[in-house]
């Protein structure tokens, strides 16, 4: 009998029905990939992410689209992606998917000569094509594992979308937010003029993109506005990866920037990452990787509060993987470093979890409205 030599990547390496199902959900339900579309999949030669990439590749092909699979070495917070990756994204495929063991890597050319449009600056070709000119759609999954992908991608997207939209309505009507929790978090951020973003898993239109697993609404505080203390007590992203926190990290902010970090070994590791981000930014300017004057700006913003996000994925749990951890229902997270309004660039974006938060929004009408009470939404 003649052998079938037209095996898919997935059939050649493995048969995992749970993974195949999750990949189809990502391709068909989240991205809504259509026949004839060009889909670029970027990954690393590591078993976990490569297995997912092969499954997604096959799901794209089943949908009648044209998948291209591109491998590069593993990248960290501080690394640049391979130039072939940036060049492939610049060809403007309909869809860009990143399934990375750590990060996709920074864009060497764009970080030195950022794209500028509508008063905003983009130091990534991906972000420019996605958020700037809305020519592509995308999802990215830094640090994803097979188990997490299978468990957290096939979820109730309608419920997730409603939760995200409810949060967006509250945040977009706010001029400031106050966040506290039983561990000692008590911080205020200004939000007037800021619009929140929803990562609800609907990446079906050009200009839409986010994480898979999805499940958060997030915003960038007004630059220089954060005042108070955040006690990170769940997990924390650092230069070397994500850690689960045993001794809470107490971080104090004044005028938007970190002024002190207290705690145990986790706190020391966070301080070391912030210091490294600052010194690397100055060195990158000296080496010509950043434009003259940008090194100091990137270094300063390594200590800036860049994000508040609220998790809504009910299948997610804290596992020491920030991609999933930050989506956990009943938590919020803050990020130190770069923001999403493209006005506080940095080499880092370090997410950290806060458990059972209570969040209150002061509306533009002067009233205070609850966004979350001890990890529960007011509409539940």
Average pLDDT over residues 287-295: 94
Return mean pLDDT, the chain. Answer: 94
Distance between CA atoms of residues 353 and 309, nearest Å: 9
Within the chain, which residue ranges are assigned CATH 3.40.50? 9-147
Percent share of the chain, pLDDT over 70: 96
pLDDT given for residue 15 in this prediction:
63
Query: Tens digit of pLDDT for each residue in 234-290?
Result: 999 998 889 999 999 999 999 999 999 999 999 999 999 999 999 999 999 999 999
Residue whose token pair is 């539940």: 380
The two three-digit tokens of residue 53, written as one number:
């990439």
The candidate with the shortest Cα–Cα distance to 328, out of 244, 202, 241, 253, is: 244
Distance CA 325, CA 66 (A): 32
CATH code for 9-147? 3.40.50
- The span from the CA of 158 to the CA of 214, in Å, is 12
Q: pTM for the complete prediction?
A: 0.89
Three-state SS for 343? coil
Element (H, E) at 286: helix 265-286
């Amino acid at each position: 009998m003649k052998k079938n030599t037209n095996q898919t990547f997935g059939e050649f390496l493995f048969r995992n029905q749970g993974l195949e199902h999750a990949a189809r959900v990502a391709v068909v339900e989240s991205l809504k990939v259509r026949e004839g579309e060009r889909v670029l999949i970027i990954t690393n030669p590591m078993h976990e992410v490569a297995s997912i990439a092969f499954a997604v590749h096959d799901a794209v092909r089943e949908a009648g689209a044209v998948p291209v699979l591109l491998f590069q070495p593993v990248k960290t917070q501080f690394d640049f992606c391979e130039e072939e990756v940036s060049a492939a994204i610049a060809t403007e495929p309909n869809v860009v998917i990143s399934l990375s063991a750590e990060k996709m890597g920074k864009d060497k050319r764009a970080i030195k000569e950022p794209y500028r449009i509508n008063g905003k600056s983009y130091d990534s070709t991906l972000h420019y094509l996605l958020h700037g000119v809305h020519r592509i759609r995308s999802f990215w999954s830094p640090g994803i594992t097979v188990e997490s992908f299978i468990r957290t991608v096939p979820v109730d997207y309608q419920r997730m979308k409603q939760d995200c939209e409810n949060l967006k309505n509250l945040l977009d009507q706010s001029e400031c937010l106050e966040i506290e929790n039983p561990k000692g978090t008590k911080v205020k951020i200004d939000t007037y003029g800021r619009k929140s973003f929803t990562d609800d898993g609907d990446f079906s239109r050009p200009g839409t993109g986010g994480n898979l697993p999805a499940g958060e609404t997030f915003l960038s505080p007004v630059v220089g506005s954060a005042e108070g203390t955040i006690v990170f007590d769940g997990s924390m992203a650092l230069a070397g990866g994500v850690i689960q926190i045993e001794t809470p990290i107490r971080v104090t902010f004044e005028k938007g920037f970190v002024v002190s970090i207290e705690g145990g070994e986790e706190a020391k590791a966070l301080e070391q990452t912030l210091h490294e981000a600052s010194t690397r930014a100055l060195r990158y300017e000296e080496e010509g990787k950043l434009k003259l004057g940008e090194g100091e700006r990137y270094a300063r913003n390594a200590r800036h509060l860049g994000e508040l996000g609220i998790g809504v994925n009910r299948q997610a749990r804290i596992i020491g993987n920030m991609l999933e951890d930050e989506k956990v229902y009943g938590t919020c997270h803050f990020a130190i470093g770069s923001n999403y309004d493209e006005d506080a660039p940095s080499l880092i974006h370090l997410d950290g979890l806060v458990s059972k938060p209570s969040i209150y929004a002061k509306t533009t009408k002067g009233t205070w409205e609850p966004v979350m009470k001890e990890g529960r939404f007011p509409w539940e």
